[in-house]
Amino acid sequence: MKKHWLWAGLLLPSLLLADDAEIRSAIEEGTRAYEAGEWSQAASQFDYAATLVRQLQAGQLGELFPEPLAGWQADDAETQAAGAALFGGGIHASRHYYKDDAELEMTITKNSPLLQTMAMMFTNPSMAAMSGYKVKRINGQTAMVQAEGDSKELMMLVANTTLIQLSGEGGDMTTADLEAYAGALDIKALSAL
């Protein structure tokens, strides 16, 4: 069993380099096609390189979810790098947390053109209040919180490029739980990605 971990440790850097080599190859092929006037081929190669970069970004985004808080458990994060045709593009990641009679889903969406419509609610707190949200600050970021019975929701926009959504439900779910998970996020790392 220990040998498997050794091999995984030795092979992982080469897998990451393979992604880097593939990205560089697509960029070089796109540049060659562009200089030769092969517009469709150039666009295709640059799109491919951009998709590979988004996949790398999505993988890194999945690593930024907070660990389960005391008494909670969590599933592994799921990530997806979407093209412009799907969800307007961007990067999406989610992680499911749970304890007793409470479940929480945290979703992070980054660099999606759809975020521009959400930004209006964050820049105009009156608009959020009219929609039933309470506005507060968490780690210096504007957050909107809403509670209806056993269902709770928190949304936070980071650096105008990243939307954090926390949806929780269950008898043991509180808005304090949502705020604790939002507060556990590494805002600096999310902004830099």
Q: How confident is the model over 149-192, as pLDDT tens digits?
A: 889 999 998 888 889 999 999 988 889 999 999 999 999 998 88
CB 81 within 8 A of CB 55: yes
Amino acid 16: pLDDT: 41
SS3 letters for 125-176? HHHHHHCCCEEEEECCEEEEEEEECCEEEEEEEECCCEEEEEEEECCCCCHH
For the chain, give every domain's residue range.
Answer: 2-61, 67-192
How are beta strands 73-74 and 141-148 bridged, if at all? unpaired
Instruction: Indicate the burial class of 59 (C-beta count within 10 angstroms; 0-12, 13-18, 19 or more).
Output: middle
Architecture of domain 67-192: 3-Layer(aba) Sandwich (3.40)
pLDDT at 58 (0 to 100):
81
- pTM for this predicted structure: 0.76
Best CA proximity match to 181, nearest among 121, 123, 98: 98
Report, as an integer, the average pLDDT of 134-157. 90
The string of pLDDT tens digits covering residues 17-65 is 347 888 899 999 999 999 999 999 999 998 888 888 888 888 888 889 9
* pLDDT tops 80 at residue 4: no
Q: What are phi and psi of 115, to 5 degrees?
A: -65, -25
Per-residue pLDDT at 83: 54
Q: What percent of the chain has pLDDT over 90?
A: 38
The predicted pLDDT at position 82 comes to 61
